[in-house]
Structure 1
Amino acid sequence: MKKQLVLFAILFSQCGYAQKNTNTGPSWSPDEQLIGFSSDRDGDFEIYSIAKDGTNLLKLTDNNVEDHYPVWSPDMSKIVYTSVRDGNYDLYIMNSDGSNSKRLTDHEANDGGSYVSWHPDGSNFLFNSKRDGRYQIYRYDIKDGKQTNISKSDYNDNFGEYSPDGKQIVFSSDEPGKSEIYMMDSNGNNRTRITDEEVKNNLFPTWSPDQKSIVYQHRPGFRDIDLIVLNLETKERIDISQSPSGVYYFYPRWSPKSDKILFSSSMDGSPHIYYKKLSSNEVVQLTFDE
């Protein structure tokens, strides 16, 4: 994760962007009223929330280390996020107002470093871990803290997300020698490749609420990172970013009500948080340089 953030900073600087602050890793609240994200606007990366109309910015963590990738529980009472406050990347949980933060994972290898994905019933969530020598997708059970390797593969498997019905997991894997999108059952069986493209990386897949499509981060060239919507039934691909070379789109998140896609982008120079209304193609910017 830290290496990825450094790479993004290098990409922005090579394009001549004067970064005032970086806002990244956004996620929707289950009721679609709030967006969580991380920002270094106060010097280091902390967790913030903001209303979907861009008002009521709240700082939820406050320390001198990096905090990233906030994700609300289905009942909105908790937020799980990644932090390096104890030396390497681990997962933490806090109340939705930022209080009562508690460490969940404690391993010498990196745990987290990306979004977790809550099961729809709130009983567990998926997370990335490198504790087996490569990145794998694990399940964390809320009741007893049990942590189970779900992907159990010989490849780097990342960014696992439960389907809206909780029966399948979409994820990214480097099994073919580059990152492509895969799908498997929630128990790790029936691993199936979804994308097969002549690009360097396809990453961060996320489901549409009707489970018929996914959106993912697609990198066709060094100076381009786009967002692709893939219809899983027809295989139709739509580039919803349609950006000029040198503009980057990261971390797509489909809205719970299905009508928007949230993302981070460099379209305004520094990386900021936006969402796109799918019915009108209107892009709404939520964060700005300070």
Structure 2
Amino acid sequence: MKTIKVFKRISFVTLMIVFGACTLLGENDSEETPLEDPPPVGGKLVFSMEDSATEQRQIFTMNIDGSELIRLTDNRRASGYPAWSPDGNRIAYSTDLIECSGDPCVYLMNEEGSGKGPMGMSSPYPDDEITGAHSSWGPDGNMIAFNRCLGFPGCGFVSVYDLESDSLKYISGGWYPSWSPDGAYLVYSSGRAYQDEEEDHWREDLYLANASGKGESFRLTTLGEDYEWFEWIRENEVLFLRHNHQTDLKDVILINIDTGKRETIARDIKVGYLKEVLWYPEGESLFIVSYDLETGELVFDLYNLNWRHIQNFRLTELDATVDDIDWHYEVEANS
């Protein structure tokens, strides 16, 4: 047996696992067919949460079963947006320290909270710490894509920091960069094509960019959609969830970046309060994470790409301010 480590971003309000009923409906509703070996639920979380001692949002880790809750930061300023490195040994996060001049600085620390320091510690950055949010580690652990903050007009500057060379590259204006599996490219969202529109400010398209910063970005979509989540899941495919403003429901769509062909995986998904979406690569499946307003529970529903429901569990009892969670879990596989 060997252990495969996987890291996924989730944003929720959680703690104890309680299995419950499915709360989502898709266009292909059918009899549920659970897998013989459903994906394991375990591992460690890193997240931000308001802390009573400092009265600020801080970074915490804890096992998904609720044990070993550990506060990693104790600043008198807020910290958030933590992200695991691919090997699980380091965490990138943003912190609103006073020396950051109004925008959050990107910091790195070891998994247990030691070794805190700004990303980019050598020249030319010692007196100009890199500001930003929404960090995303490249698959080799040597690159971090993030939204750089440059004061006004904000943090909408997709950039890549190289830890080995201590160098910073601007990629493009946009948001929420997601790496290709080989680490060569990024997909990000941008509303640049609709910036002159007085209404429908949610309209965006997806763009592809070379992670080296060379060349122009390629416009992958052209319909001006409202992307609530997207991720580059395979060599030539991006999966995304959009909010349909005509129906006020959600659609899950797969797009081939080579051909532009779109495949609707599920249409008109009914979600009370959507929190996050997670791609589970080993199971070729998708977690839809929603908040149950009646019970106060966070609901995880797992679907395969034929939109058959596989698994459901509920998490409860953490402070409602929990957010920005990255999940490190391990998958046992045959060697």
- TM-score by structure 2 length? 0.62
Partner of 1:140: 161
Q: Secondary structure at the match of 1:131?
A: coil
Any residues of structure 2 matched to 1:56-71 within 5 Å, and which?
56-71=68-83
Question: Residue type of the partner of 1:228?
Answer: V
Question: Residue type of the partner of 1:173?
Answer: S
Question: Residue type of the partner of 2:150?
Answer: R
1:79 is displaced (CA, Å) by 0.4
Separation in structure 2 between the aligned mates of residue 222 and residue 82 of structure 1, nearest angstrom: 36
Alpha-carbon displacement from aligned partner over 1:228-248 (angstroms, at most 9, x marks no partner): 34242641123488224xx33
The structure having more radius of gyration, on CA atoms, is: 2
1:162 is displaced (CA, Å) by 1.1
Provide the identity percentage.
23
Separation in structure 2 between the aligned mates of residue 193 and residue 215 of structure 1, nearest angstrom: 15
140 and 227 in structure 1: CA distance in 2 versus 1, 3 angstrom threshold: farther
Between Structure 1 and Structure 2, how many residues are aligned?
254
Q: Secondary structure at the match of 1:257?
A: helix
Partner of 2:45: 35
| RMSD of aligned residue pairs (Cα, Å) | 3.7
Partner of 1:194: 220
79 and 69 in structure 1: CA distance in 2 versus 1, 3 angstrom threshold: same
Question: Residue type of the partner of 2:118?
Answer: R
Matched, 1:175 2:202: no
Q: Secondary structure at the match of 2:133?
A: coil
1:278 is displaced (CA, Å) by 2.5
Alpha-carbon displacement from aligned partner over 1:161-193 (angstroms, at most 9, x marks no partner): 111111221111112213222222223435222
Any residues of structure 2 matched to 1:224-263 within 5 Å, and which?
226=250, 228-232=252-256, 234-239=261-266, 242-244=269-271, 247-259=272-284, 261=286
93 and 195 in structure 1: CA distance in 2 versus 1, 3 angstrom threshold: same
1:222 is displaced (CA, Å) by 10
Any residues of structure 2 matched to 1:207-222 within 5 Å, and which?
207-208=232-233, 210-221=234-245
Any residues of structure 2 matched to 1:72-87 within 5 Å, and which?
72-86=84-98, 87=102
Q: Between Structure 1 and Structure 2, which shows a larger proportion of strand residues?
A: 2
Question: Residue type of the partner of 2:317?
Answer: F
Q: Secondary structure at the match of 1:276?
A: strand
Matched, 1:266 2:291: yes
1:150 is displaced (CA, Å) by 1.8
Matched, 1:283 2:312: yes
Separation in structure 2 between the aligned mates of residue 265 and residue 167 of structure 1, nearest angstrom: 32
Q: Is this contact kept in 1: 2:205–2:220, CA < 8 A?
A: yes
Separation in structure 1 between the aligned mates of residue 71 and residue 81 of structure 2, nearest angstrom: 14
1:104 is displaced (CA, Å) by 1.9
Q: Secondary structure at the match of 1:150?
A: strand
Q: Secondary structure at the match of 2:269?
A: coil
Partner of 2:140: 121
Unaligned residue ranges in structure 1 (runs of 5+): 1-21, 25-30
1:273 is displaced (CA, Å) by 5.8
Partner of 1:11: none
Q: Secondary structure at the match of 1:286?
A: strand
Partner of 2:24: none
Higher relative contact order (CA 8 A, sep 6+): 2
Question: Residue type of the partner of 1:185?
Answer: N
Separation in structure 2 between the aligned mates of residue 34 and residue 52 of structure 1, nearest angstrom: 6
Q: Is this contact kept in 2: 1:53–1:286, CA < 8 A?
A: no
Partner of 1:12: none
Q: Is this contact kept in 2: 1:181–1:194, CA < 8 A?
A: yes
Question: Residue type of the partner of 1:131?
Answer: L
Separation in structure 2 between the aligned mates of residue 108 and residue 203 of structure 1, nearest angstrom: 33
1:49 is displaced (CA, Å) by 2.9
Partner of 1:3: none
From 179, 192, 202, give the equivalent of 1:162. 179
From 197, 209, 216, give the equivalent of 1:184. 209
1:110 is displaced (CA, Å) by 8.4
Separation in structure 2 between the aligned mates of residue 270 and residue 103 of structure 1, nearest angstrom: 41
Alpha-carbon displacement from aligned partner over 1:81-130 (angstroms, at most 9, x marks no partner): 1121234211111101122221226798983232x222222221111113
Separation in structure 2 between the aligned mates of residue 93 and residue 184 of structure 1, nearest angstrom: 25
1:36 is displaced (CA, Å) by 2.4
Separation in structure 1 between the aligned mates of residue 149 and residue 240 of structure 2, nearest angstrom: 22
Q: Is this contact kept in 2: 1:94–1:101, CA < 8 A?
A: yes
Greater alpha carbon shift after TM alignment, 177-186 vs 272-281: 272-281
Question: Residue type of the partner of 2:313?
Answer: V
